[in-house]
């Protein structure tokens, strides 16, 4: 294949970290990309909010008229890197309606509008690629949609947010509390001025929705994903985790589950969880991401790499861009959305996993028995209990702490148990409830 076919026109929307890198690669690697595509990629324009001479690209490429740019005759592919949900949604829909293929990294948009975007791509018979929307440079979307297309995915569990992984890694290694670790992450540029989307798990939930959708051939939106952030995690939690041979990670978990009667359902959830140190995800530290996929025939696979940053994300975006361009040149199309299974998503109360419950209790005989009875009543089986004295600064024993680790139980049963424990006279407070993932039941 030679690189001298009819040029493929590209419009890039957004000129932030990722957009600038994509523009750089299109220019610096022009010969290689042309050879791989079979035709040169030509940058027709860059959509920005503010047209100015100091953006590092020829000013005549810049435009703030997105609508005009995405509908240009000589544009074949639109690369959307503007975020947030709007105006990106409008621009992508307009591009698709004008018959352009679209590459996007916009997880927030995809996690609420996949159906709408996929339908528009289908109607226009063009490509909609979004490898960069989950786990940055790490190929996850393509392996799930293509490599595992003949397999049955049972579970996807990943560390898909670099900010929270940096904060939790810091807390684990330095003993810092949440506020200090967040301040550290901000100082290093790993956390945004308003870190809410990351630390409250919204970003991970959007990615979980995308992963669950493709893994289970079912449309799952961010609203279907149960979500807890990491702001309540304390150094005490890390100490307890260590005592149990674990660390704490914010996980996005997508599971195929069977409910009574054998029907299949999907569970999608994001929360901080205890993870055994022997589990491969436990060793994923700092701003790195990793996704573990368990499939019936393939067994356990792991994908690891940089989940964010301008260059890594640009790598995934340009990969998609080259594939979309090749399809244009060859008159082909890439994989479509697969949503045939349409498995219902279960509420968190029906999801089951293991739990760690830490509580402050009265320092008197019989407490353990009362606590254990509440678990037993709701058929939550206890795997391990530890009771230890709590001492004040003078070394005087002032109370006791009980830590319970359960076998597998539903979240509903566990929540009821915790509510009942809080009502017990001998329990002063339930200090912490965390899930335990990545172990056998």
Provide the annotated binding site for NADP(+). Answer: 13-20
Task: For residue 411, state whether it binds a copy of itself (rule: CB under 8 A).
Answer: no
Residue partners of 313: CB distance under 8 A and separation at least 6: 17, 18, 21, 105, 132, 136, 137
Annotated binding site for L-homoserine: 192
**Least distance from a copy of itself to the Cβ atom of residue 155, Å:** 14
Enter the tokens of residue 233.
Answer: 């995690």
**Least distance from a copy of itself to the Cβ atom of residue 56, Å:** 17
Bridge partner residues of 268 (DSSP): 254
CA distance 119 to 129: 13
Task: For residue 124, state whether it binds a copy of itself (rule: CB under 8 A).
Answer: no
In this structure, how many other beta carbons lie within 10 angstroms of the beta carbon of residue 240? 22
Choosing from 6, 90, 100, 207, the catalytic residue is 207
Stretch that binds a copy of itself, among 48-56, 156-164, 203-211, 305-313 (CB under 8 A): 305-313
Enter the tokens of residue 163.
Answer: 């900010």
Is 90 noted as a catalytic residue in this protein?
no
Sign, CA dihedral 321-324-325-326, equals positive
**Least distance from a copy of itself to the Cβ atom of residue 337, Å:** 9
Q: Which of 17, 71, 338, 432 binds a copy of itself (CB under 8 A)?
A: 338
Enter the tokens of residue 56.
Answer: 């590092």
Q: What is the dihedral of CA 165, 170, 171, 176, to 10 degrees?
A: -140
Q: Which of 73, 258, 262, 340 binds a copy of itself (CB under 8 A)?
A: 340
**Least distance from a copy of itself to the Cβ atom of residue 389, Å:** 38
Question: Of 10, 24, 38, 4, whose CA–CA distance to 331 is shortest?
Answer: 38
Q: Of 311 and 362, which has the nearer Cβ to a copy of itself?
A: 311
**Strands 382-391, 427-436: pairing kind:** unpaired
What is the SS3 assignment for 402? strand
Q: Which of 45, 229, 305, 438 binds a copy of itself (CB under 8 A)?
A: 305
Q: Which of 49, 232, 242, 300 binds a copy of itself (CB under 8 A)?
A: 300
Residue partners of 84: CB distance under 8 A and separation at least 6: 106, 108, 109
Enter the tokens of residue 264.
Answer: 């299949």
Q: Of 162 and 201, which has the nearer Cβ to a copy of itself?
A: 162
CA distance 293 to 282: 15
Contact 201, 250 (CB under 8 A): yes
Q: Which of 69, 210, 273, 295 binds a copy of itself (CB under 8 A)?
A: 295
Q: Which of 243, 277, 302, 376 binds a copy of itself (CB under 8 A)?
A: 302
Question: Which positions from 207 through 226 interact with a copy of itself, judged by CB under 8 A?
Answer: 217
Task: For residue 299, state whether it binds a copy of itself (rule: CB under 8 A).
Answer: yes
Helix/strand number for the chain, H first, E second = 14, 17
Enter the tokens of residue 176.
Answer: 């810092």
**Least distance from a copy of itself to the Cβ atom of residue 84, Å:** 24
**Least distance from a copy of itself to the Cβ atom of residue 147, Å:** 4
Kindly tell me the burial class for residue 397, based on how many C-beta atoms sit within 10 Å of its own C-beta (0-12, 13-18, 19 or more): exposed
Q: Which of 11, 88, 137, 250 binds a copy of itself (CB under 8 A)?
A: 137
Q: What does the per-residue mask of binding to a copy of itself show for 142-181, with x meaning CB under 8 A? A: xx--xxxxxxx-----------------------------
Enter the tokens of residue 230.
Answer: 């990491």
**Using CB under 8 A as the criterion, which residues of the chain lie in contact with a copy of itself when the complex forms?**
1-3, 21, 25, 29, 32-33, 35-36, 131, 137-139, 142-143, 146-152, 217, 280, 283, 295-306, 311-312, 314-323, 326-327, 330, 332-336, 338, 340-341
Residues that are catalytic: 207
């Amino acid at each position: 294949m030679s690189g001298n076919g009819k040029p493929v026109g590209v419009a890039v929307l957004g000129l932030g970290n990722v957009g600038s890198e994509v523009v750089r690669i299109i220019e610096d690697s022009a010969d290689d990309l042309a050879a791989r595509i079979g035709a040169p990629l030509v940058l027709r324009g860059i959509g920005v909010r503010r047209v100015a001479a100091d953006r590092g690209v020829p000013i005549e490429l810049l435009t703030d008229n997105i609508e005009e740019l995405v509908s240009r005759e000589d544009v074949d592919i639109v690369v959307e890197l503007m975020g947030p949900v709007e105006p990106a949604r409008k621009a992508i829909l307009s591009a698709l309606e004008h018959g352009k293929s679209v590459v996007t990294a916009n997880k927030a948009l995809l996690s609420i509008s996949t159906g709408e975007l996929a339908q528009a791509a289908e109607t226009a018979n063009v490509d909609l690629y979004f490898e960069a929307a989950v786990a940055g440079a790490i190929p996850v979307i393509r392996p799930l949609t293509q490599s595992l297309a003949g397999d049955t995915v049972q579970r996807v569990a990943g560390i898909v947010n670099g900010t929270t992984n940096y904060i939790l890694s810091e807390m684990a290694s330095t003993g810092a509390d949440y506020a200090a670790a967040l301040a550290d992450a901000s100082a290093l540029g790993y956390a945004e001025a308003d870190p809410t989307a990351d630390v409250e798990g919204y970003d991970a939930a959007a990615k979980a929705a995308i992963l669950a959708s493709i893994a289970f051939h079912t449309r799952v939106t961010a609203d279907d994903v149960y979500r807890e952030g990491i702001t309540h995690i304390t150094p005490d939690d890390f100490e307890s985790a260590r005592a149990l041979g674990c660390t704490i990670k914010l996980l996005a978990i997508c599971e195929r589950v069977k409910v009574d009667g054998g029907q299949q359902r999907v569970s999608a959830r994001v929360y901080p969880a205890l993870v055994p140190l022997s589990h491969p995800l436990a060793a994923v530290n700092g701003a790195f991401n990793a996704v573990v996929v368990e499939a019936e025939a393939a067994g356990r696979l792991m994908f690891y790499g940089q989940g964010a940053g301008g260059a890594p994300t640009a790598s995934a975006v340009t990969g998609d861009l080259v594939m979309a361009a090749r399809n244009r040149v060859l008159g082909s199309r890439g994989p479509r959305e697969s949503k045939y299974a349409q498995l219902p998503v279960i509420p968190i109360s029906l999801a089951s996993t293991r739990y760690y419950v830490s509580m402050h209790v009265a320092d008197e005989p019989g407490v353990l028995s009362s606590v254990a009875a509440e678990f037993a009543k709701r058929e939550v089986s206890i795997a391990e209990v530890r009771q230890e004295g709590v001492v004040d600064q003078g070394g005087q024993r002032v109370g006791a702490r009980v830590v319970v680790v359960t076998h597998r139980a539903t979240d509903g049963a566990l929540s009821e148990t915790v509510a009942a424990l809080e009502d017990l006279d001998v329990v002063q407070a339930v200090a912490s409830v965390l899930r335990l993932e990545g172990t056998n039941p």
